[in-house]
Amino acid sequence: MSEELKWFTIYEFACTCCGQRHMDMRFLKKLEEARNVAEIPFVINSGYRCFEHNEKVGGLPDSSHLFGLASDIATEDSPTRYKILEALLYVGFNRIGVGKNFIHVDLDPRKQKNLIWVY
């Protein structure tokens, strides 16, 4: 990774089982843009996943995490969730999943656009 990130380190996106961190730079730059807009920290729960880890956590076989095109961001309360969602939409993310304590965001060109789903 040749470009520097302002708000994140690449290690925040590392697979928790093997340490691989093959993240897409376009995705990371857009996530940085959203973090800048939100003006609050984004705590990354899950970034890149190797195939073994993805299977272990019950990820879909074609999960965007496998391609470095997705992250799950921790949300501790409703105001935080709102700020993160608002910022993600503002910068143009259009694939967002909302869980009780996290938000999934991806930039996967293989998948349907303009979706928000719940877990």
Span 61-84, pLDDT tens digits:
999 999 999 999 999 999 999 999
Can you read off the two tokens belonging to residue 101?
């304590």
**Where are the domains positioned within the chain?**
10-118
pLDDT at 1 (0 to 100): 43
pLDDT at 57 (0 to 100): 94
pTM over 0.85: yes
Alpha-carbon span 1 to 22, nearest angstrom: 9
Alpha-carbon span 82 to 103, nearest angstrom: 10
Residue 116, SS3?
strand
Alpha-carbon span 50 to 14, nearest angstrom: 9
Residues of the chain with pLDDT under 50: 1-2
Q: Contact, 85 vs 104, CB < 8 A?
A: no
The CATH number assigned to the domain with range 10-118 reads 3.30.1380.10
